[in-house]
Amino acid sequence: MKRWLAALLVCCLPAQATIAEQYAVIMPGTSALTQQFMASLGNALPEDRIIELSVNDAVPEGTDLVITMGRQGLEARLQQPDGLPTLATYVTAESLLATAAADKPMHALLANPKPARQVALAKLLVPGIRRIGILLTEQTQAGLPEWRQAAAQQNTDLVSVTVDPQQNLTRKLVDIITDSDILLGTDDSLIYNADNLKTILLTSYSRSKVLIGPSAPFIDAGSLTTTYSSPDDMARSTAWLIKQGVPGSGSSYPKHFSVLSNAQVARSLGIPLPDDATLAQRLAELEHAQ
């Protein structure tokens, strides 16, 4: 009888309710990428409500955080009058410089690879490198201190050259390749684009120098390897940041990432290449140990 009464009392106690959050995601359109991102975000935040919005939709009442995808989604968000906090995803440091300042709390989860990961990846594949070369333009010079810090953490020297792609790209490229052991591609669309890529690849590989980065689309073209964030990586990183508490300003890189490599390029350069999953795991272990 006593056990029955105790069980009854427990059942009658009010349950501690979990308050679900509501997140509105502004998407530039529907694609395989956006669908995978939304599915992964829902799996990572199963207790919360996630609403899909187009760039023309108003943010519904009850929203706790607005998440944008891409520059188009961010620009649409900046036109909205409310002061709700915003988490911008799939934007690069370069595109943020060209975006008007937001009169609302906003944090950016950058799409471009984290410099420290790129340098660590270079050291994993070519352990003997001592000097790392990067090309910059005036629009990406602001990122130079972060590249320097990343190189210093790996006990390497950073050789940087500022170029005008319309005037002296080839000459500066030859100079920096001669003065460094490896070339790391930066997220600079004025340098790394379809018009310049052939020149960069031929110039570097003719001197047996490796190009790492700047992003996944360059791997098929002839870059050796890079880190990047898949839609699942970006969604899981978004959920992780939400659970930690989204900062009201600044930017950060996705916590979760993958590696993509070109095995043919590795063979031609005589570089032993572990599989991409192994490389990603090693990099994650290195970051965890720091």
For 227, list phi and psi in degrees, rounded to 5. -95, 155
Distances from the Cα of 223 to the Cα of 26, 135, 205, 246, angstroms: 32, 15, 10, 34
Beta bridge partners of 118: none
Beta bridge partners of 225: 261
Rounded Cα distance between 241 and 120, Å, is 23
Rounded Cα distance between 147 and 189, Å, is 17
Structure tokens at 17: 């309710």
* pLDDT value, residue 97: 67
* pLDDT value, residue 220: 92
Q: 214 preceded by cis ω (within 30°)?
A: yes
Domains of the chain: 22-111+231-252 (3.40.50.2300), 115-228+258-289 (3.40.50.2300)
What is the CA angle 257-258-261, rounded to 5? 145
This prediction has a pTM of 0.89
Q: Are 199 and 217 in contact (CB under 8 A)?
A: no
Rounded Cα distance between 50 and 128, Å, is 47
Distances from the Cα of 48 to the Cα of 43, 55, 65, 66, 239, angstroms: 10, 22, 11, 13, 11
* pLDDT value, residue 104: 76
| CB-based burial label for 236 (10 Å; 0-12, 13-18, 19+) | buried
Q: Are 265 and 224 in contact (CB under 8 A)?
A: yes
* pLDDT value, residue 20: 84
The series of mean pLDDT values per 10 residues for the chain, 290 residues long, is 41 51 95 96 97 96 96 92 94 75 81 95 94 93 94 95 88 93 93 92 91 93 95 98 94 96 94 95 91
Structure tokens at 120: 């660590």
